[in-house]
Amino acid sequence: MSLTPSPSTVTDRAVSSVLELIGHTPLIRLSQFERECCPGVEIYAKGEWHNPGGSVKDRAASRMIAEGERTGRLRPGLTITDATSGNTGIAYAMLGAAKGYKVKLFLPENASPERKLILRAFGAELVLTSPLEGTDGAIRAVRKLVAEHPDEYFYPDQYSNDANWRAHFETTGPEIIEQTGGRVTHFVAGLGTSGTFMGTSRALRQFNPNVKVISFQPDSPFHGLEGLKHMETAIVPPIYDATMADADLRVSTEDAHRCVRRLAREAGLMVGISAGAALAATLQVARTLERGVVVTVFPDGAEKYLTEAFWTAE
């Protein structure tokens, strides 16, 4: 398999499906933040809110649904169901609407109001679970449903599905290689399902074994970083391999909020909370380097978080 994607995009032609709009997201240089590092350091972020569902999760969801159809596990008449913190659910709901499948999603009750509105706009049925249990509670609830009604649902199980990380191995990683001209030296990504980190890291390591891959996660079990897991206290996704990372960093909710505000006010980029966490972790890495091309992933945009109070904090 080639790790170099076609340089063509879909923006110069008509498309027949929303699926054709997934991927080929821009790589954005964050020159405003390079001033805090040595002159030889470049910092970039993949703008994943450019995907049609608004997040990086479009990549994995489309691959998992395609694999379900290919293997016959997903057939007409079945309902797609999974646990989600919101973004993968939005991708499922968008794709389900486009392909004609019903979608039923389990997510924590404290998911942002905007995410719930988007999910319902796509026609998804929502089952809200205890906010105190986070996505782990949603996982337990969806597993119970599928065990009781196995013939009614297609359960991709994004936390265990190899198609999750393979989507990034085959798209996100090769895009970064192409967009940096093969110069990438460090990759930084957060841990939720871990699919983005695992798949992209494997692609970059296959291209150049010297690329450093750094993961990050919340610094506490009680955090406000939607979509990210504090692995020491959470159900660890089966697709996650802790030995992949050269380092595993911790990021506080407050630092993530601060970086979201900075990106809006200093770079003109409206991004989500996990993207703020990605910048915080990336700066931790970049400040230790004399030279390097550091790439991270901004999973989504700010439209799902505009009612959050932290925007007006100083």
Residue 194 known to be catalytic: no
What string of DSSP letters covers 259-274?
Answer: HHHHHHHHH---B-HH
Residue from 57, 104, 116, 304 carrying the catalytic annotation: 57
What string of DSSP letters covers 61-91?
Answer: HHHHHHHHHHHTSS-TTPEEEEE-SSHHHHH
Residue from 55, 85, 112, 274 carrying the catalytic annotation: 274
List phi, psi (to 5°) of 297.
-120, 125
Is-contact 10 24, C-beta < 8 A? yes
Nearest to 262 by CA among 35, 52, 40, 49: 35
Residue 306 CB: number of other CB atoms within 10 A?
A: 12
Residue 274 known to be catalytic: yes
* CA–CA dist 116, 100 (Å, integer): 20
Residues classed as catalytic: 57, 274
